Amino acid sequence: MTQPQARLLGTAREGGIIYPFIVLFLVLAIWKGQTFYGKTNLLEILDQQASFLIIAAAGTMVLIAGGIDLSVGATYALCQVIATKMAESGDPVLAIFVGVLVGIGVGAVNGVIATFFRINSLIATLAMSFVITGVATLVTNGNLIIAYSALGFANLARTQFLDVTTAAWTMIGVVIILAIVLSRTIAGRYMYAAGSNSEAARLAGVRVQWIKLATFAISGGAAGLGGIIDASRVLSASSANGGTTLTFTVLAGIVVGGTSILGGAGAIWRTVVGVLFIAMIGNGFTLLAWNALYEQITLGVILLLAVGGDAWSRLRTS
Amino acid sequence: MPEAVPPEGGTPQETTLRGAHVELRGISKSFGGTRALEGVSLTIGRGSIHALVGENGAGKSTLGKIIAGAHAPDAGQLLLAGEPVRFHSPRDAIGHGVILIAQELSIVGSLTVEQNVFLGVEPRNKGFQNRRELRRRYKELAASVGFQLDGHVNAGQLRTADQQKVEIMRALCRNAQLIVMDEPTAALSRQDVEALHAVIRQLAGNGTSVVLVSHFLNEVLELADEVTILRDGRLVQTVPAAGQTEETLMAAMLGRSLDATFPAKRPGPADAPVVLSVRELRAPGVNDVSFDLRAGEILGLAGLVGAGRTEVARAIYRANRVYSGSVTVTAPAGTGKAGTGKAGKDKEITGTPRTALRAGVLMIPESRKEQGLLLGRSVRENVSLSTLAQVSRAGMVQPGSERRTVRDVLTRVDARGGGQSSPASALSGGNQQKLLFARSLLSDPTVLIADEPTRGVDVGAKRAIYELLTSLTDSGLGVLLISSDVEEILGLAHRVLVMRGGRVAAELTGDDVTEAAVLGAAFGAAERGA
């Protein structure tokens, strides 16, 4: 490969998802005009994606530190049913607090299993997702939990501030904090180190297991918060919410953004772009009134392209 | 061409008679912006052993890979038996009888030796493996090359030298006429090196051409018929090995003459304070090891591969489990930064590498790629990893402070090639090793354990590392040096512990430190005739 080619590829990989994102945005903007790029539509996308973005930002950390969390969909459901049930008759703030705490606890359990018991996190979190879903169903008895009277609980997601919902504000806050932790703090550096070469990191004095455990705990907490935000929006919760669809949509966003499933490389801003890219495809299908079935196929193809493109560019540049 | 040649090898006369096997004309190759090879032309005689030597980054591995189809040249021609060929893949090259045995072996550990040898070309019977036929062919092949290797054992359990034999047989059963070997002896103990040398001679004797990429000049001189010397991707010269010496080769590689490889050794500090005290250490592969290391001393840990040297280092550093025994670190008064209060206090290492680091012990591990570096991360992140707290405030890494600190320490270890933001994988072996030294220096250790610090490193970088080690001891650091290169131990260490079977077999000081004494103790009475 010649030098300019290599440099072009390097840049393409560095920028990655940005270019298709911009192209898609322009195409939709030209095609549908105000309907797409109008404030209402864009803010709605942001609001709808709030929980996904929170969960995906945390999931990025897990992936970078060399793990994977397949239990976020289940944790999402468990935390939302617990919080909603508590909000039904109690203090909404306490309900939210406890819900997030349960998420962090579940994540910590994932982390302990995946690190100290040395069980591959793919399997560990998959197994845990069944357990968590089971527990969530026990909490609800399989019913929809409704808290229509708990208007205080609704404030978490529905309040508007500067035309933007609190759900979106919360998301923006959480994502920025996680991005700073990952890119600017010692802990963040250790996450990259742990995922890049865990043995080297250990020998360099990094407490690899604790770092990995922390990423799982953060991921669990984020899944909980996401679930609670979505429950707060509709004032109801079910153990059937979230699930594998959520898990894999979030994972797709992370990977499309360009974070490596092999660990050690990636960034939260990438994930934000990746998740929004997928959301934009969904939005496009809705606005164009296309058959939603094709949306799934499109998503699958894009995911393959993203992963394939990454693998291909690695092969070429190495 | 009447040169003296080893009688076992193919003689140059034969070589000329059999003609050229491979001819390279004006080969050039770049990676990204780096020019790896430029206009290299050479001829490899059929049935000859042709060595490629040069510093790391001189392009010898790249050249080997181009011959074997692992890389495609950007320009130039490759002629095989006079016919121009263009290999599109290693598989393509194998089809032409050219096979590469890379530095990293490609053994499938869970398969048996015979399955590994015939991997992909198994004798088949209606789609099923024909095990009996496999066994028969394996025995035939092993007998023909004279390897005593049980075909039924799992290849993963074999020593590296035996795994190399598996690779060679794999090449042979695919009708290899030319085998490119990249640093075949880098990870071998001395006796295994001898065994492999015999194999290589035998291959050449049977008419197989061998291209040998090696850092070991004595090996090159011993084996090769012809030597091609590369420098900065260009061909310096191709000469018959006979008549060359290590000095002439080295001078050609470096383009300047190298009078002393090792820095002058200062006298051992006999009465300096003890900085590291190891008592009755028992750990996997370590059986009751006790010794002291003094400030300013380089203590060499010698022995055959598998004698327990690395295991001792890993046990001290708590990278491995420890059954019993104690390791105590004492920073001598007057060292250490003011206010850290580390001087004079005994610290026992327990638990994890993190506690070892805190106590002032640092280990540069045996394998820089697997245990040392974050290859995909930047130079900067690699260097600052162990001491991020120094360049951080309230848990936040301060980019400016980090950049300055890393720049200063990189200057100290003289690491070059690529900026702080380029990935560690882009650096040459020697510079990668310097990154690990840089990381160690930042934590201002009392004791430095360097496990094979010059493995796979070019001559120039070796010297730089030797000088670095010496200058570190001048500042009062105690160094535990592990090396398979006896000359390195002899040239650097004030005192040598020779290990055998997990124990310290001998302690040598002063004039007793000779190659004969080290090797004698290393082989010892327990030599099992292997």
Average pLDDT, chain B: 81
pLDDT of residue B397: 87
Query: How, if at all, do strands B34-45 and B209-213 pair?
Result: unpaired
Q: Searching chain B, which residue's CA lies closest to the CA of residue A203? A: B353
Domains and CATH numbers, chain B: 12-107+176-254 (3.40.50.300), 108-157 (no CATH), 274-523 (3.40.50.300)
Query: How, if at all, do strands B178-182 and B447-451 pair?
Result: unpaired
pLDDT of residue A316: 57
Task: Dig out the tokens for B481 from the structure.
Answer: 């040096």
Q: Do B381 and A187 touch (CB under 8 A)?
A: no
- Best interface-test mutation with A: which of B62, B316, B377 has the largest number of A CBs within 10 A? B377
Q: Searching chain A, which residue's CA lies closest to the CA of residue B372? A: A200
Q: Do B365 and A201 touch (CB under 8 A)?
A: no
Asked if the C-beta of B153 comes within 8 angstroms of chain A's C-beta atoms, the answer is no
B105-129 tens-digit pLDDT: 778 888 888 888 888 777 777 777 7
Task: Dig out the tokens for B240 from the structure.
Answer: 């018959």
Given the structure tokens 């019977």, which residue do they identify? Answer: B125
Q: Do B32 and A3 touch (CB under 8 A)?
A: yes
Task: Dig out the tokens for A266 from the structure.
Answer: 């990636």
Residue A287 has pLDDT above 60, yes or no: yes
Asked if the C-beta of B397 comes within 8 angstroms of chain A's C-beta atoms, the answer is yes
Q: How confident is the model at residue A126 (pLDDT cuts 50, 70, 90)?
A: very high
Nearest Cα of chain A lies from the Cα of B72 at a distance, in angstroms, of: 9
Q: Which member of A184, A193, A197 has the closest CB to residue B396?
A: A184
User: Residues of A with CB below 8 A from B357's CB?
Assistant: 204-205
Q: Which of residues 140-179 of A touch B (CB under 8 A)?
A: none
pLDDT of residue B1: 40
Nearest Cα of chain B lies from the Cα of A196 at a distance, in angstroms, of: 6
Count CB-CB contacts under 10 A for residue A11.
11
3-class DSSP state for residue B140? helix
User: Residues of B with CB below 8 A from A10's CB?
Assistant: 32
Q: Which of residues 345-364 of B touch A (CB under 8 A)?
A: 352-354, 357-358, 363
Which stretches of chain B score pLDDT less than 50? 1-17, 256-260, 335-342, 525-530
The reply to whether ipTM tops 0.85 is no
B171-204 tens-digit pLDDT: 888 878 899 988 887 667 777 788 788 888 888 8
User: Residues of B with CB below 8 A from A189's CB?
Assistant: 381, 384-385, 388, 397
Q: Do B363 and A203 touch (CB under 8 A)?
A: yes
Q: What does the pLDDT average to over A54-73?
A: 94
Q: How confident is the model at residue A192 (pLDDT cuts 50, 70, 90)?
A: very high
Residue B148 DSSP class = -
Of A49-53, A264-268, A273-277, B191-195, minimum mean pLDDT range: B191-195
Q: Which member of B74, B352, B374 has the closest CB to residue A193?
A: B374
Q: Do A186 and B395 touch (CB under 8 A)?
A: yes
Average pLDDT, chain A: 86
Nearest Cα of chain A lies from the Cα of B89 at a distance, in angstroms, of: 14
Given the structure tokens 């000088």, which residue do they identify? Answer: B467
Angle among Cα B43, B47, B51 to the nearest 5 degrees reads: 55
Q: Searching chain A, which residue's CA lies closest to the CA of residue B388? A: A186
CA-wise closest residue to B235 among B87, B102, B76: B76
Q: Which member of B319, B381, B395 has the closest CB to residue A187?
A: B395
Question: Would you say how long chain A is, in residues?
Answer: 318
User: Residues of B with CB below 8 A from A209's CB?
Assistant: none
3-class DSSP state for residue A184? helix
Fold for the domain defined by A3-317: ABC transporter involved in vitamin B12 uptake, BtuC (1.10.3470)
